[in-house]
């Protein structure tokens, strides 16, 4: 039986003792991500590149320890929570922008590089990287690849899988391989596409080749102000059905607006029932006419006012409120549970009414802030976990909201992933044969159950309740048997 001291000695030999954490006070930072689940790992290791990652994977496989890859820990489905404890492989030391090629319009980056760091590096060449999650200042490119992240501006341009050309990965059995390359549409099976969105169950990303786009010549940002979420939802369908594809269509309800305005002072009308943030980019002559048409659609659907951002500073303030809205909800309650369902745009009104009915029935409060243009909902249930029984009600309400989305012809996730919190719902969408075939892909990459276990697919043995950690590990020290 392996002792914890033997595990730590092996990790230290690979990455250096200074790059291995094992004390309880250090590990508690790595027992959770952006969800409400928790599990304490045995150790956290910080490799500096593919060779060290591969060595760590081979060591853990040999000793029988589970592995959980981790970027910034901003994920919202439990993907970075070490469900079976084991070892967390953190990519924080691997954060360099290795290359920005303005001729081929590609960049090569390490997985721990924050999304905003890539954006800033590309901007020096008049280019940008399209996927822009709301956690852009913190989330990493590797984490974006794992979850197939999206963002407000992915309505017209697509999500992570549409902008990653190639990835260097360490597979679950410790092999270093390249999937894809520096060009689009490589011949053969699209293993790159299969890896993106696999939520850390197939391996660890160690390099990413992304495509870059020219910074738009001009941008117009509208703020449509409505008396209700229903009016705003109808407007989304009206804009798209008219033939317009904006760069973004974002919706925020009254609860979200009031919290964001109180905390960030972005110029939002706090008394509005909902707002739409609609943005067009491209050639000035084209987007001006598009913005005019969108403005007319807003008024036709009942908007009380439509504002146009006068300059870049005002546009930045409007987006500051949208991207900082979730954090601002801390002014309402100390905890939140954010959901990530997708529904057809034509079902927005019906599904939003269903969300309101569910949270009301459970005696909860919800704040809605989401990517309305592609039907990607983010109902955010705000609560206080210190109140007995509240967490159970929140989770039950969340499950019902997910079922409403699926029953409307939608999906369990648009960008946050399935992770641990929604894997038990996968049979709502897929048959046993479908799920079995998905599981076979893991074996191809060498995952036989210990690589980010209990994630994405319905959980097996050892994947029970994660919220209660083993307190004995706090005092057991490095000689504990594990």
pLDDT by residue (tens digit) across 88-120?
Answer: 999 999 999 999 999 999 999 999 999 999 999
pLDDT band with cut points at 50, 70 and 90 for residue 215: very high
pLDDT by residue (tens digit) across 156-173?
Answer: 999 999 999 999 999 999
pLDDT band with cut points at 50, 70 and 90 for residue 475: very low
Which CA distances in Å does 436 have to 431, 441, 457? 9, 9, 9
Distance between CA atoms of 338 and 350, rounded to whole angstroms?
20
pLDDT average, residue stretch 126-151: 96
470 has a pLDDT exceeding 60:
no
Which CA distances in Å does 329 have to 256, 271, 274, 324, 325? 7, 17, 16, 9, 7
Between 1 and 344, whose confidence is greater? 344
Exposed, middle or buried by CB within 10 Å (0-12, 13-18, 19+), for 335? middle
Contact 169, 180 (CB under 8 A): no
Residue corresponding to tokens 């900082």 = 324
Q: How far apart are the first and last CA of the chain?
A: 8
Task: Characterise 425 by phi-psi region: left (phi > 0), alpha (psi -120 to 50), beta (else).
Answer: alpha
pLDDT band with cut points at 50, 70 and 90 for residue 3: confident
Sorted by where each starts, the structural domains of the chain and their CATH numbers stand as 4-92+443-476 (3.30.43.10), 97-214 (3.30.465.10), 218-327 (3.30.70.2190), 333-420 (3.30.70.2740)
pLDDT by residue (tens digit) across 341-353?
Answer: 999 999 999 999 9
477 has a pLDDT exceeding 60:
no
Cα 29 to chain centroid distance, Å, stands at 19
Give the burial string for 262-279 (b: 16+ CB within 10 Å, else e): ebbebebbeebbbbbbbb
* Mean pLDDT of the residues in the chain: 94
Q: Listing from the earlier edge strand, what are the strands of the sheet with 87-90? A: 20-21, 43-45, 87-90, 67-70
Contact 371, 154 (CB under 8 A): yes
pLDDT by residue (tens digit) across 266-312?
Answer: 999 989 999 999 999 999 999 999 999 999 999 999 999 999 999 99
pLDDT value for 467: 47
472 has a pLDDT exceeding 70:
no
Distance between CA atoms of 45 and 19, rounded to whole angstroms?
6
Of 228, 251, 220, the closest CA to residue 321 belongs to 251
pLDDT by residue (tens digit) across 178-194?
Answer: 999 998 877 889 999 99
27 has a pLDDT exceeding 70:
yes
pLDDT by residue (tens digit) across 368-421?
Answer: 999 999 999 999 999 999 999 999 999 999 999 999 999 999 999 999 999 998
pLDDT band with cut points at 50, 70 and 90 for residue 465: low
């Amino acid at each position: 039986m392996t002792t914890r001291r033997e595990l730590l000695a092996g990790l230290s030999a690979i990455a250096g003792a200074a790059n291995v954490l094992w004390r309880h006070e250090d590990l508690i930072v790595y027992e959770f991500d952006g969800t409400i689940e928790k599990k304490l790992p045995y150790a956290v290791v910080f490799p500096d590149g593919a060779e060290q990652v591969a060595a760590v994977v081979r060591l853990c496989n040999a000793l029988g320890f589970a592995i959980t890859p981790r970027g910034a820990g901003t994920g919202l489905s439990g993907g970075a929570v070490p469900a079976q404890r084991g070892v967390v492989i953190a990519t924080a030391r691997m954060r360099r922008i290795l290359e920005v090629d303005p001729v081929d319009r590609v960049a090569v980056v390490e997985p721990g590089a924050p999304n905003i760091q890539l954006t800033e590096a590309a901007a020096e060449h008049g280019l940008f990287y399209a996927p822009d999650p709301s956690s852009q200042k913190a989330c990493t490119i590797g984490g974006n690849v794992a979850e197939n992240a999206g963002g407000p501006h992915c309505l017209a341009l697509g999500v992570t899988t549409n902008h990653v050309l190639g990835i260097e990965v360490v597979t679950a059995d410790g092999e270093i391989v390249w999937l894809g390359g520096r060009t689009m549409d490589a011949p053969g099976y699209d293993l790159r596409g299969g890896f993106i969105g696999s939520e850390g169950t197939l391996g660890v990303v160690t390099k990413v080749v992304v495509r870059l786009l020219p910074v738009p010549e001009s941008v117009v940002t509208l703020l449509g102000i409505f008396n209700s979420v229903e009016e705003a939802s109808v407007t989304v369908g009206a804009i798209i059905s008219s033939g317009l594809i904006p760069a973004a269509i974002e919706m925020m309800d009254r609860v979200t607006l009031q919290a964001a305005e109180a905390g960030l002072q972005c110029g939002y009308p706090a008394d509005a029932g909902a707002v739409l943030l609609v943005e067009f980019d491209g050639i000035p002559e084209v987007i001006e006419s598009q913005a005019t048409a969108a403005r007319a659609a807003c008024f036709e659907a009942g908007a009380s006012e439509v504002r146009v951002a006068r300059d870049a500073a005002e546009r930045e303030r409007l987006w500051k409120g949208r991207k900082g809205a979730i954090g601002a909800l801390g002014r309402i309650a100390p905890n939140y549970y954010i959901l990530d369902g997708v529904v057809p745009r034509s079902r927005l009104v019906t599904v939003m009414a269903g969300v309101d009915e569910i949270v009301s029935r459970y005696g909860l409060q919800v704040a809605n802030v989401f990517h309305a243009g592609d039907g990607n909902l983010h109902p955010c249930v705000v609560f206080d976990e210190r109140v007995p029984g509240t967490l159970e009600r929140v989770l039950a309400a969340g499950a019902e909201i997910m079922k409403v989305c699926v029953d409307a012809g939608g999906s369990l996730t648009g960008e946050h992933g399935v992770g641990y919190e929604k894997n038990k719902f996968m049979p709502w969408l897929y048959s046993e044969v479908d799920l079995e075939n998905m599981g076979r892909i893991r074996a191809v990459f060498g995952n036989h159950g210990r690589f980010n276990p209990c994630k994405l697919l319905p959980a097996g043995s050892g994947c029970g309740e994660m919220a209660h950690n083993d307190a004995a590990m706090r005092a057991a020290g490095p000689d504990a048997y594990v």
